Amino acid sequence: MTPMEAGRSRSAPSPLNPMRLQTAVELAARVRAGKATAEATVRVYIDAVLSGDGPLQAFAAFDPEVALEAARAVDSARNRGPLAGVPVAVKDVIDTAQYETAYGSAIYRGHRPALDAACVTLLRQSGAVILGKTVTAELATFAPGPTRNPHALSHTPGGSSSGSAAAVAAGLAPLALGTQTAGSVIRPASFCGVVGYKPSPRCVPRSGVKGTSDTLDEVGAFATSVDDIALIAAVLAQQPEWASLPALGRAGLPPRVGWTLTSRGEHVDTDMRKAVTTAAERARQCGAPVSALAWPNDFDRLFDAQRTIQFAETARALSAEFSYRRADLSVQLIEVIQEAHAFDPARYPKALAVGRACVAKIESLFEGVDVIVAPSAPGEAPASLTTTGDPLFNRPWQLLGCPVIGVPFGRGLHNLPLGVSLVARPGQDALLIEAAAWLERCWVS
């Protein structure tokens, strides 16, 4: 079987218990119906972390008693929410009152926030149980943490949401939160073979999240299916109807699909190129109108503009750490900040203007299509633990503010996962979820 014949497959770890084969949708339904308790559900995943996280090092903070206490509170509650009893792992740049939140940095070792981040509060209010904190690259930037790829321990899981992607891929958690400034959700989702979701700007609250870019930062999520992404997205965005969108998408008309390698196709390896083109062809065979898209010339400026904005705003956001605790920062981060300090004063406002101009002309890219299929990364996860991979193919969508769902699609030369990005216009997250559900069914059938 070739990598592309393998198609899209769900991560399937060897379970300690059949419950770990169930989706978050199924787990929550069982707890709400009284067929399982939140405590029993959480115990399964506690056992999974205790037995499976040693070689992966996906978790930065983990306390079984804290998780079990939260699960018992769900069981004793009169009203159980849409995520009742579902364990959720949380990236360690997102504040949690019950767990240390160190932001992947020695500077904040031992830091215990007084309150949960707003997105964590929404999860708790929905009945979710915070399973623990997952490893992040340093301050959600570029220096990797210790997490390894579950599919090949000598390969990066991606970043900066490395622990969250690895935990879901290995079956240690059914859902996890991440953050993205360039490609920190979609790229590790691709490398680890799971589904990732990066919402439209300001769709999910960022209060209580360690920021690196006011313009670009977003809170996203990882799961093993589009159904589960819809469930957690409905909670995080406070849009309850989103949870039912996958069923509507699978039963509805096919989306109009465009595909592109962007203007940087020379950086896509052979397997990723095949993944994108085969995904588009499979959609056509399933009845979707499909077209190859020309990348507008002006949009080529998005790649450098996003990088400029990210670096400039990271230098600004981390100015205190750089000024007072520079010795505790990585060489990679110091170099980013120093590069930003050397920018011509006009470079940053010009980059912001590029983003605004391209958003105003976004129909020149999306004309005639509902969603775009594009690379999630240049290829498979690199065979390195000193890099989190290249976010090149995530940069334009991030600056445009497009919602993205990354879906696994086949494997590459070294039998590691590949993922393709499904991209919609800014603000069209609901349409994207429907389309992703339709395409997911197409690709696994």
Would you say how long the chain is, in residues? 445
Q: Per residue in 129-177, pLDDT tens?
A: 999 999 999 999 999 999 999 999 999 999 999 999 999 999 999 999 9
β-sheet with 59-61: strand ranges across: 59-61, 129-134, 87-91, 175-180, 218-223, 195-198, 404-411, 417-423, 371-375, 257-259, 290-292
Give the DSSP H/E element, type plus range, for residue 398. Answer: helix 395-400
Judge whether 283 and 257 are in contact, CB under 8 Å.
Answer: yes
User: Are 159 and 184 a contacting pair, CB within 8 Å?
Assistant: yes
Q: Answer whether residue 12 shows pLDDT above 80.
A: no
| pLDDT, average across residues 273-285 | 98
Distance, in Å, from the CA atom of 428 to the CA atom of 426, rounded to the nearest integer, reads: 6
Residue with tokens 């609901």: 430
Q: Give all domains of the chain, ordered by start, each with its CATH number.
A: 3-246 (3.90.1300.10), 250-300+356-444 (3.90.1300.10), 303-349 (no CATH)
Site of tokens 């799961």: 223
Q: How far is CA 86 from the centre of its chain?
A: 18
Which amino acid type is present at position 119?
Answer: C
Q: CB within 8 A of 395, min separation 6: which ones?
A: 182, 183, 302, 303, 306, 307
Cα Rg of the chain, angstroms: 20
Express as a percent the part of the chain with pLDDT over 70.
95
Tokens 């290995």 correspond to what residue?
Answer: 170
Per residue in 385-438, pLDDT tens? 999 999 999 999 999 999 999 999 999 999 999 999 999 999 999 999 999 999
Cα separation, 108 vs 328, in Å, equals 10
% of residues, the chain, pLDDT over 90: 94
- Find all residues with CB under 8 Å of 338, minimum gap 6, and list them: none
Whether the predicted pLDDT of 16 surpasses 90 = no
Taking the CA atoms of 431, 433, 436 and 442 in sequence, report the sign of the dihedral they define. Answer: negative
pLDDT at site 445: 77
Q: Which amino acid is at 23?
A: T
pLDDT, average across residues 42-57 = 97
Positions annotated as catalytic residues are 91, 160, 184
pLDDT per residue as tens digits for the range 65-96: 999 999 999 999 988 999 999 999 999 999 99
Q: Are 183 and 174 in contact (CB under 8 A)?
A: no
> Could you tell me which residues come within 8 angstroms of residue 331 by beta carbon, excluding any fewer than 6 positions away?
143
